[in-house]
Protein backbone atom coordinates (compact mmCIF):
# COMPACT_ATOMS: atom_id res chain seq x y z
CA UNK A 1 0.00 0.00 0.00
CA UNK A 2 1.14 3.56 -0.68
CA UNK A 3 2.84 5.12 2.34
CA UNK A 4 2.17 8.84 2.77
CA UNK A 5 4.51 10.65 5.16
CA UNK A 6 2.82 13.80 6.33
CA UNK A 7 1.91 16.46 8.82
CA UNK A 8 -0.91 19.04 8.63
CA UNK A 9 1.16 21.76 6.93
CA UNK A 10 0.29 23.15 3.47
CA UNK A 11 2.57 21.00 1.31
CA UNK A 12 1.50 17.62 2.72
CA UNK A 13 -2.15 18.68 2.61
CA UNK A 14 -1.96 19.02 -1.19
CA UNK A 15 -1.09 15.31 -1.36
CA UNK A 16 -3.79 14.33 1.12
CA UNK A 17 -6.29 16.05 -1.17
CA UNK A 18 -5.07 14.27 -4.32
CA UNK A 19 -5.00 10.86 -2.61
CA UNK A 20 -8.56 11.43 -1.44
CA UNK A 21 -9.68 12.66 -4.85
CA UNK A 22 -8.15 9.61 -6.54
CA UNK A 23 -9.63 7.25 -3.95
CA UNK A 24 -6.27 5.48 -3.62
CA UNK A 25 -5.69 3.28 -0.60
CA UNK A 26 -2.88 4.72 1.49
CA UNK A 27 -1.29 4.52 4.90
CA UNK A 28 -0.84 7.96 6.47
CA UNK A 29 2.38 8.01 8.48
CA UNK A 30 2.74 11.06 10.75
CA UNK A 31 6.11 12.80 10.84
CA UNK A 32 6.12 15.13 13.83
CA UNK A 33 8.56 17.81 12.71
CA UNK A 34 8.32 19.61 16.08
CA UNK A 35 9.78 16.46 17.66
CA UNK A 36 12.52 16.16 15.03
CA UNK A 37 11.10 13.02 13.39
CA UNK A 38 12.05 14.39 9.97
CA UNK A 39 15.70 13.69 10.89
CA UNK A 40 15.19 10.01 11.76
CA UNK A 41 17.48 7.88 9.53
CA UNK A 42 14.49 5.87 8.22
CA UNK A 43 12.82 9.07 7.07
CA UNK A 44 16.00 10.59 5.62
CA UNK A 45 16.26 7.45 3.47
CA UNK A 46 12.90 8.46 1.99
CA UNK A 47 13.52 12.21 1.78
CA UNK A 48 17.12 13.36 2.20
CA UNK A 49 15.74 16.92 2.45
CA UNK A 50 14.09 16.05 5.80
CA UNK A 51 10.70 17.57 4.94
CA UNK A 52 7.16 16.34 4.40
CA UNK A 53 5.41 15.24 2.27
CA UNK A 54 6.96 12.09 0.87
CA UNK A 55 5.43 9.00 -0.66
CA UNK A 56 6.66 5.42 -1.06
CA UNK A 57 4.92 2.76 -3.07
CA UNK A 58 6.57 -0.43 -4.26
CA UNK A 59 9.92 0.60 -5.68
CA UNK A 60 8.91 4.25 -6.11
CA UNK A 61 9.99 6.95 -3.68
CA UNK A 62 8.95 10.56 -4.15
CA UNK A 63 9.46 13.77 -2.24
CA UNK A 64 8.52 17.41 -2.90
CA UNK A 65 4.80 18.02 -3.03
CA UNK A 66 4.35 19.23 -6.58
CA UNK A 67 6.49 16.39 -7.95
CA UNK A 68 4.25 13.95 -6.08
CA UNK A 69 1.10 15.60 -7.45
CA UNK A 70 2.39 15.40 -11.01
CA UNK A 71 3.66 11.81 -10.75
CA UNK A 72 0.43 10.43 -9.28
CA UNK A 73 -1.84 12.41 -11.60
CA UNK A 74 0.16 11.30 -14.66
CA UNK A 75 0.17 7.70 -13.47
CA UNK A 76 -3.57 7.68 -12.80
CA UNK A 77 -4.32 9.86 -15.85
CA UNK A 78 -6.63 12.02 -13.79
CA UNK A 79 -6.70 15.71 -12.84
CA UNK A 80 -3.97 16.54 -15.40
CA UNK A 81 -3.58 17.08 -19.15
CA UNK A 82 -1.40 14.18 -20.28
CA UNK A 83 -0.72 15.30 -23.88
CA UNK A 84 2.83 16.64 -23.43
CA UNK A 85 2.53 18.92 -26.48
CA UNK A 86 -0.75 20.53 -25.50
CA UNK A 87 -1.16 24.16 -24.42
CA UNK A 88 -2.96 22.89 -21.31
CA UNK A 89 0.03 20.72 -20.30
CA UNK A 90 2.32 23.74 -20.80
CA UNK A 91 0.08 25.98 -18.68
CA UNK A 92 -0.18 23.26 -16.04
CA UNK A 93 3.62 23.04 -15.76
CA UNK A 94 4.01 26.82 -15.52
CA UNK A 95 1.43 27.25 -12.76
CA UNK A 96 2.51 24.15 -10.88
CA UNK A 97 6.10 25.44 -10.78
CA UNK A 98 4.91 28.97 -9.94
CA UNK A 99 3.19 27.56 -6.87
CA UNK A 100 6.20 25.38 -5.98
CA UNK A 101 8.84 28.07 -6.36
CA UNK A 102 6.89 31.27 -5.65
CA UNK A 103 3.70 30.83 -3.64
CA UNK A 104 5.13 28.19 -1.30
CA UNK A 105 8.52 29.66 -0.41
CA UNK A 106 7.40 33.30 -0.15
CA UNK A 107 4.27 32.40 1.83
CA UNK A 108 6.37 30.18 4.10
CA UNK A 109 8.93 32.90 4.75
CA UNK A 110 6.15 35.44 5.30
CA UNK A 111 4.77 33.16 8.02
CA UNK A 112 8.22 32.72 9.52
CA UNK A 113 9.11 36.40 9.74
CA UNK A 114 5.62 37.53 10.76
CA UNK A 115 4.92 34.93 13.41
CA UNK A 116 8.21 33.41 14.57
CA UNK A 117 11.40 35.39 13.87
CA UNK A 118 13.00 37.47 16.61
CA UNK A 119 13.42 41.24 16.30
CA UNK A 120 14.78 43.09 14.43
CA UNK A 121 12.86 41.73 11.47
CA UNK A 122 11.39 44.74 9.65
CA UNK A 123 13.54 44.37 6.55
CA UNK A 124 12.92 40.62 6.13
CA UNK A 125 9.22 40.84 6.98
CA UNK A 126 8.71 43.69 4.55
CA UNK A 127 10.44 41.73 1.80
CA UNK A 128 8.52 38.48 2.31
CA UNK A 129 5.18 40.15 3.00
CA UNK A 130 5.60 42.14 -0.21
CA UNK A 131 6.56 39.11 -2.28
CA UNK A 132 3.86 36.88 -0.76
CA UNK A 133 1.26 39.55 -1.60
CA UNK A 134 2.70 39.99 -5.08
CA UNK A 135 2.52 36.25 -5.79
CA UNK A 136 -1.03 35.94 -4.43
CA UNK A 137 -1.90 39.00 -6.54
CA UNK A 138 -0.76 37.15 -9.66
CA UNK A 139 -3.06 34.25 -8.77
CA UNK A 140 -5.93 36.64 -7.94
CA UNK A 141 -5.69 38.33 -11.33
CA UNK A 142 -5.51 34.98 -13.09
CA UNK A 143 -8.56 33.67 -11.23
CA UNK A 144 -10.49 36.85 -12.00
CA UNK A 145 -10.50 35.58 -15.59
CA UNK A 146 -10.44 31.81 -15.11
CA UNK A 147 -12.75 29.60 -13.09
CA UNK A 148 -9.92 27.17 -12.29
CA UNK A 149 -6.15 27.55 -12.39
CA UNK A 150 -5.71 25.64 -15.68
CA UNK A 151 -7.80 24.25 -18.50
CA UNK A 152 -11.23 25.35 -17.29
CA UNK A 153 -11.55 22.40 -14.91
CA UNK A 154 -10.38 21.14 -11.52
CA UNK A 155 -6.83 19.76 -11.61
CA UNK A 156 -3.68 19.15 -9.55
CA UNK A 157 -2.83 22.84 -9.94
CA UNK A 158 -5.96 23.70 -7.97
CA UNK A 159 -4.90 21.14 -5.36
CA UNK A 160 -1.44 22.74 -5.11
CA UNK A 161 -3.19 26.12 -4.80
CA UNK A 162 -5.54 24.78 -2.10
CA UNK A 163 -2.72 23.64 0.20
CA UNK A 164 -1.54 27.24 0.59
CA UNK A 165 -4.77 29.19 -0.09
CA UNK A 166 -6.24 27.81 3.17
CA UNK A 167 -3.50 29.73 4.96
CA UNK A 168 -3.56 33.12 3.21
CA UNK A 169 -5.02 35.15 6.12
CA UNK A 170 -2.30 33.74 8.40
CA UNK A 171 0.41 34.14 5.74
CA UNK A 172 -0.43 37.82 5.20
CA UNK A 173 -1.44 38.53 8.78
CA UNK A 174 -4.62 40.26 7.68
CA UNK A 175 -7.27 37.88 9.00
CA UNK A 176 -10.65 37.62 7.30
CA UNK A 177 -10.19 41.07 5.69
CA UNK A 178 -7.66 39.34 3.42
CA UNK A 179 -10.53 38.10 1.29
CA UNK A 180 -11.62 41.64 0.34
CA UNK A 181 -8.32 41.90 -1.51
CA UNK A 182 -8.36 38.33 -2.85
CA UNK A 183 -12.03 37.52 -3.65
CA UNK A 184 -11.21 35.12 -6.46
CA UNK A 185 -8.70 33.22 -4.35
CA UNK A 186 -11.51 32.86 -1.81
CA UNK A 187 -13.98 31.79 -4.49
CA UNK A 188 -11.80 28.90 -5.64
CA UNK A 189 -10.81 28.01 -2.07
CA UNK A 190 -14.50 27.74 -1.07
CA UNK A 191 -15.27 25.68 -4.13
CA UNK A 192 -12.52 23.18 -3.28
CA UNK A 193 -13.34 23.20 0.45
CA UNK A 194 -16.85 22.06 -0.45
CA UNK A 195 -15.53 18.88 -2.08
CA UNK A 196 -15.89 15.74 0.07
CA UNK A 197 -12.24 14.86 -0.68
CA UNK A 198 -11.10 18.18 0.80
CA UNK A 199 -13.11 17.51 3.94
CA UNK A 200 -11.58 14.02 4.24
CA UNK A 201 -8.10 15.50 3.72
CA UNK A 202 -8.73 18.08 6.47
CA UNK A 203 -9.97 15.33 8.79
CA UNK A 204 -6.83 13.25 8.28
CA UNK A 205 -4.77 15.09 10.90
CA UNK A 206 -7.28 14.25 13.64
CA UNK A 207 -6.19 10.61 13.30
CA UNK A 208 -2.80 11.47 14.79
CA UNK A 209 -1.57 13.65 17.59
CA UNK A 210 1.03 16.20 16.53
CA UNK A 211 2.97 18.28 19.01
CA UNK A 212 1.27 21.68 19.29
CA UNK A 213 3.86 23.67 21.26
CA UNK A 214 6.49 25.66 19.44
CA UNK A 215 8.81 25.31 22.42
CA UNK A 216 12.61 25.42 22.56
CA UNK A 217 12.93 21.80 21.42
CA UNK A 218 10.60 22.36 18.44
CA UNK A 219 12.46 25.54 17.46
CA UNK A 220 15.76 23.65 17.55
CA UNK A 221 14.43 21.15 15.00
CA UNK A 222 12.57 23.62 12.79
CA UNK A 223 15.07 26.49 12.81
CA UNK A 224 18.51 24.86 13.15
CA UNK A 225 20.14 28.05 11.79
CA UNK A 226 19.59 29.72 15.17
CA UNK A 227 22.31 27.59 16.72
CA UNK A 228 24.89 29.40 14.56
CA UNK A 229 23.64 32.74 15.86
CA UNK A 230 23.79 31.56 19.45
CA UNK A 231 27.40 30.39 18.93
CA UNK A 232 28.36 33.64 17.18
CA UNK A 233 26.79 35.68 20.01
N1 LIG B 1 9.49 21.94 -1.48
C2 LIG B 1 8.94 21.06 -0.47
C3 LIG B 1 8.83 21.80 0.84
C4 LIG B 1 8.43 20.87 1.96
C5 LIG B 1 8.32 21.58 3.30
O6 LIG B 1 8.88 22.69 3.48
N7 LIG B 1 7.63 20.95 4.21
C8 LIG B 1 7.44 21.51 5.53
C9 LIG B 1 5.99 21.37 5.90
S10 LIG B 1 4.98 22.32 4.76
C11 LIG B 1 8.31 20.75 6.53
O12 LIG B 1 8.50 19.56 6.40
N13 LIG B 1 8.82 21.45 7.54
C14 LIG B 1 9.61 20.84 8.58
C15 LIG B 1 11.01 21.37 8.62
O16 LIG B 1 11.30 22.36 7.93
O17 LIG B 1 11.82 20.78 9.35
C18 LIG B 1 7.58 20.53 -0.92
O19 LIG B 1 6.89 21.22 -1.68
O20 LIG B 1 7.22 19.42 -0.53
Ordered by where they begin, the domains of the chain are 2-78+200-232 (3.40.30.10), 87-194 (1.20.1050.10)
Contact by Cβ (8 Å): 38, 223: no
What integer pLDDT is reported at residue 5 of this predicted model? Answer: 98
Say yes or no: CB of residue 53 within 6 Å of ligand 1.
Answer: yes
11 C-alpha vs ligand 1 centroid, how far in Å?
7
Say yes or no: CB of residue 107 within 6 Å of ligand 1.
Answer: no
| Tens digit of each residue's pLDDT (9 = 90 or more) over 193-202 | 999 999 999 9
Specify the pTM: 0.97
| Tens digit of each residue's pLDDT (9 = 90 or more) over 81-137 | 999 999 999 999 999 999 999 999 999 999 999 999 999 999 999 999 999 999 999
What integer pLDDT is reported at residue 232 of this predicted model? Answer: 81
What integer pLDDT is reported at residue 229 of this predicted model? Answer: 84
Dihedral angle over CA of 80, 81, 83, 87, nearest 10:
-140
What integer pLDDT is reported at residue 233 of this predicted model? Answer: 74
Q: Which residues of the chain have pLDDT under 70?
A: none
Closest to 34 in 3D by CA, of 55, 7, 13? 7
Q: Which residues does 14 contact at the CB level (< 8 Å), separation at least 6?
A: 53, 65, 66, 69, 159, 160, 162, 163
Amino acid sequence: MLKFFYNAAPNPMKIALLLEELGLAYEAIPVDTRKGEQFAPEFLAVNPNAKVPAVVEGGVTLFDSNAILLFLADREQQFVATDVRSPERAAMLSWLMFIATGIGPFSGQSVHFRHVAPEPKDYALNRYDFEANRHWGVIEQHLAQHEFMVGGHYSIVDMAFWGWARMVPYVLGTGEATWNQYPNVKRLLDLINARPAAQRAEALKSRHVFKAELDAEARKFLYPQNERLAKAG
